[in-house]
Structure 1
């Protein structure tokens, strides 16, 4: 896909995840890695914009060091959007994993509740091959910091999804749909585990 198509896909998936309740308010961020004229670039959702209504024109393009490139002017002759504050987390995953083309970070309520409680979510059938029976918990670091980027990248060296303590969920994939569906599925898995625990307690 070209830059325009990637931006359109990110906007569409952003809107979808918001409708599903996985990125409430202005939480969450999505990115895709692509090459243009032999140069690696990343398209990522902007900072401070709800994924409910983000548009293709608001998607920010950065290089592999997080610098904004390919500025597109709006009707006011301005492009003031900044990349997500978690941009370095996305970039670190891409640098560690050549096979990854998309990263999706959500704050889905049930899965995030497990993350705040420090409880691992079981990896149920439907995720694909199960090599780890649970979704790994990544140690807490403040949002937007290099410490968080390092923790997530390390946690995802051999995983396609991780749970961030006191924070949320991060998934990656060979394409945007794959990563987004993983975040949706982990929320459903968390619901099943939560309901099962309530039923078993009675």
Structure 2
């Protein structure tokens, strides 16, 4: 379990240093199995991802019941509902990165870019605004990911993004990729308007 906590601390710092989260916003988690039971290691509530320690990480079961004394992120139910909807998802990164969140607050959709072309799908799926930290948002996120096994990221309107993966590296890399796609699209639209 120490490796899992250390990995969460490491990727939390990466997200913070790369500007994908700031202040006390954003959260990440990993699902793991111990003694034939599934658990979630998740960042705590009201702490900056930039200076977490392994002992800060919260452990919950898949119903978001706490296993240790650390209070989990307010989005713990969202993480758990996604894990319950999709066995293939092992890690989740939820950010409020500037460009992707800018698009989430606008009427524009983020295109998926890689180099100069789009991949997989033309636009990233969205969930209409639901108050953060609520069971309603958790259920909507779980349902949205559960409906399509190829869906790996969604935009939360007026909120941020959720990126998933088979490990923290994949989920964090996808969050970076989405931010870069949003930034590239923003620059293209600005240049095309000149």
| Pairing 1:92-171 to 2, within 5 Å after superposition | 92-125=81-114, 130-157=119-146, 158=148, 159-171=151-163
Let me know the Cα RMSD of the aligned residues: 1.3
What TM-score do the two structures reach when normalised by structure 1? Answer: 0.90
Shift of 1:130: 3.5
DSSP-derived class of the 2:72 partner: coil
Greater shift, 116-125 or 163-172, is seen at 116-125
Q: What count of residue pairs does the alignment treat as equivalent?
A: 189
- 1:84 maps to which of 73, 78, 88: 73
Q: Which runs of 5+ in 1 are unaligned?
A: 72-78
SS at match of 1:46: coil
**Structure 2 residue ranges without an equivalent (≥5):** none
- Residue in 1 that maps onto 2:35: 37
Shift of 1:68: 1.0
Separation of aligned partners in 2, 1:176 and 1:89: 17
CA distance in 2, matches of 1:125, 1:192: 10
Residues 116/28 of structure 1: CA separation in 2 closer, same or farther (3 Å cut): same
Per-residue CA deviation, residues 157-177 of structure 1 (Å, 9 max, x unaligned), is 321001110000101111110
The C-alpha deviation readout for 1:118-170, integer Å capped at 9, x for no partner, is 321001127xx933211111111001101111221222232100111000010
Deviation readout 1:29-76 (Å, 9 max, x if unpaired): 00000000111000000001000101111000001111111x3xxxxx
- 1:189 paired residue number: 181
